[in-house]
């Protein structure tokens, strides 16, 4: 599979400058984030992608949009690939709002409030990533699947910290990382 971290969000911009939570709920991409998404779309063309799985956060949906257009593929929304809930940006938009803002996507399989209501322990996101890894490894198309996700989820899957707009390959049939270090 290919894992793509969403482009720079309003939260990333402010948090990167201050290292303080700016209190932005479900932030949108910045202009740089949109450029990173467009660049990823160009880079991912020709990579054999046949399926796109995306987190329900706005920043991930915005990142996936140009990729899906470039590849002429639908977007599959799945909250299992969401970020670890630890900051204000990890409060998502309720399903009715997502359905209004993204009418071309199917949100029918997610709860109205699909993010946790309290901070998610590290062990929980690592367990969630392991469940996703196992489920994807059982699919015949895992090698042709793009997952548009977040720093913490990608770190939990791979043990690697990736920058906004960066992508990497991951083989879900290989063992998960033995240790995950939670440092940005």
Contacts of 101 (CB under 8 A, 6+ apart): 58, 93
Give tens-digit pLDDT for 50-99: 999 999 999 999 999 999 999 999 999 999 999 999 999 999 999 999 99
Both tokens of 18, joined, read: 């201050």
Distant-in-sequence, close-in-space partners of 52: CB < 8 Å, separation ≥ 6: 64, 67, 68, 71, 73, 74, 75, 76, 145, 146, 147, 148
> Cβ neighbours of residue 140 under 8 Å, at least 6 residues apart?
none
3-class DSSP state of 34:
helix
- Among the residue ranges 15-24, 48-57, 173-182, the one predicted with the least confidence is 173-182
pLDDT band for position 184 (50/70/90)? low
CB 90, CB 115: distance < 8 Å: yes
Q: DSSP state, 119?
A: P
Contact of 156 with 128, CB cutoff 8 Å: yes
Are the C-beta atoms of 8 and 165 separated by less than 8 Å? yes
pLDDT band of residue 109 (cuts 50, 70, 90) is confident
Please count the helices (runs of H) and the strands (runs of E) in the chain. Answer: 6, 5
Confidence band, pLDDT 50/70/90 cuts, at residue 182: confident
């Amino acid at each position: 599979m290919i894992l793509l971290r969403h482009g720079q969000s309003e939260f990333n911009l402010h948090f990167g400058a201050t290292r303080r939570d700016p209190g932005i709920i479900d932030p949108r991409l910045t202009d740089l984030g949109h450029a990173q998404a467009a660049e990823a779309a160009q880079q991912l063309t020709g990579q054999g992608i046949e399926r796109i799985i995306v987190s329900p956060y706005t920043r991930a949906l915005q990142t996936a949009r140009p990729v899906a257009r470039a590849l002429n593929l639908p977007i599959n929304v799945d909250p299992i690939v969401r970020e670890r809930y630890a900051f204000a940006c990890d409060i998502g938009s309720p399903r009715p709002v997502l359905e209004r803002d993204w009418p071309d996507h199917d949100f029918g399989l997610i709860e109205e409030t699909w993010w946790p209501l309290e901070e998610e322990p590290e062990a929980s996101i690592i367990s969630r990533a392991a469940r996703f890894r196992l489920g994807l490894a059982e699919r015949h198309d895992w090698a042709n699947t793009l997952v548009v996700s977040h720093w913490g989820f990608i770190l939990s899957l791979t043990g690697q910290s990736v920058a906004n707009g960066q992508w990497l390959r991951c083989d879900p049939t290989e063992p998960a990382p033995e240790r995950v270090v939670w440092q940005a």
